């Protein structure tokens, strides 16, 4: 139930930001319109945000027939974690990365990029997907997915203010529009930050337990972080509000562990996983094929 309480608080916070921004742009009428829009978006976000996110990333559903090794690995990990088997997707992007979405474990999906499946070993891929399953088990995915859709809406409102807000006198005119453009995305980023950083450490810990191999996940995080810096994630760059969904920040230029980062520093996450390994977390029983590339896609 705590996950739903957090989700309600998140939606209320983003709704307040949205209404405040609407008031700055259009005064009382703007606040009313923003309230109506926010109510509709909250309802839509709760029921369809996972589909929206998958659509925005261009993810395609795969099965045991089209990606047997990848899908079977996810299924084995889900069985081990005591979770319903999620739908499995692939994103056509050379940047190695992955995310999970869905409002409940019964309606969950995991997605990995072609770059992740091609560039990482099977053990490292297992560690990454176990991390994503940990988000599903913790019910982080509901909060994460709704945040992506609502924060995107706040950013759209800020863009609207840039073009139209200066014409409205009741709402503060140009000054109100400037405040929206500055503070609306900032407020949305603060909400994202509040739910993002701690949950990554927890998902790393539980993911390492599910896969049974903290060092494989640590190795995967290092590789993803290093490679992602030199490769654009076209889908995330077009929709920056999606960035917090991914296991590693897919956007370029974000300072690690800085105030507005949605992800903890990779080296800090690796250090925590190394401590788990030293504590004796059992290694994975997933077959160590050592294969790359072909079997996944």
Spatial contact of 145 and 6, defined as CB atoms under 8 Å apart: no
3-state per-residue secondary structure call for the chain: CHHHHHHHHHHHHHHHHHHHHHHHHHHHHHHHHHHHHHHHHHHHHHHHHHHHHHHHHCCEEECCCCCHHHHHHHHHHHHHHCCCCCEEEEECCCCCCEEEECCCHHHCEEEEEHHHHHHCCHHHHHHHHHHHHHHHHCCHHHHHHHHHHHHHHHHHHHHHHHHHHHHCCCCCHHHHHHHHHHHHHHHHHHHHHHHHHHHHHHHHHHHHHHHCCHHHHHHHHHHHHHHHCCCCCHHHHHCHHHHHHCCCCCCCCCCCCCCCCCCCCHHHHHHHHHHHHHCCCCCCCCCCCCCCCCCCC
135 marked among binding-site residues = yes
Known catalytic residue at 132: yes
Provide the β-strand partners of residue 111.
Answer: 89, 99
131 marked among binding-site residues = yes
Question: Of 123, 124, 132, 202, which one is the catalytic site residue?
Answer: 132
Provide the β-strand partners of residue 87.
Answer: 109
123 marked among binding-site residues = no
Residue-wise burial string across 218-230, b where 16 or more C-beta atoms lie within 10 A, e elsewhere? bbbbbbbbebbee
Spatial contact of 150 and 46, defined as CB atoms under 8 Å apart: no
Q: Which residues are known to be catalytic?
A: 132
Q: Summarize the annotated binding site as residue ranges.
A: 131, 135, 200
Q: Summarize the annotated binding site for Zn(2+) as residue ranges.
A: 131, 135, 200
């Amino acid at each position: 139930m705590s996950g739903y309480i957090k989700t309600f608080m998140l939606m209320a916070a983003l709704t307040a930001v949205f209404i405040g921004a609407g008031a700055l742009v259009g005064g009382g009428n703007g606040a009313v319109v923003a309230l109506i829009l926010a109510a509709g978006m909250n309802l839509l976000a709760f029921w369809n945000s996972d589909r929206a996110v998958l659509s925005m990333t261009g993810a395609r559903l795969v099965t045991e027939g089209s990606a047997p090794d990848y899908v079977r690995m996810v299924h084995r990990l889900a069985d081990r974690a005591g979770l319903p088997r999620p739908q499995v997707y692939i994103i056509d992007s050379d940047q190695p990365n992955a995310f999970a979405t869905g409002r409940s474990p019964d309606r969950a999906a995991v997605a990995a990029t072609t770059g992740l499946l091609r560039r990482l070993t099977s053990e490292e891929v297992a560690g990454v997907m176990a991390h994503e399953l940990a988000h599903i088990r913790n019910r982080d995915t509901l909060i994460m997915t709704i945040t992506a859709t609502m924060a995107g809406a706040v950013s759209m409102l800020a863009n609207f203010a840039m073009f139209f807000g200066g014409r409205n006198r009741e709402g503060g005119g140009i000054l109100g529009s400037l405040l929206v453009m500055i503070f609306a995305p900032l407020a949305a980023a603060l909400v994202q930050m509040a739910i993002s950083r701690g949950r990554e450490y927890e998902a790393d810990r539980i993911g390492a337990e599910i896969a049974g191999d903290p060092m494989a996940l640590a190795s995967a995080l290092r590789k993803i972080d290093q490679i992602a810096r030199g490769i654009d994630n076209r889908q995330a760059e077009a929709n920056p509000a999606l960035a917090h969904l991914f296991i590693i920040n897919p956007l370029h230029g974000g300072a690690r562990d800085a105030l507005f980062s949605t992800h903890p520093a990779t080296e800090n996450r690796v250090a925590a996983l190394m401590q788990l390994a030293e504590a004796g977390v059992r290694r994975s029983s997933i077959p160590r094929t050592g294969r790359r590339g072909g079997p996944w896609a």
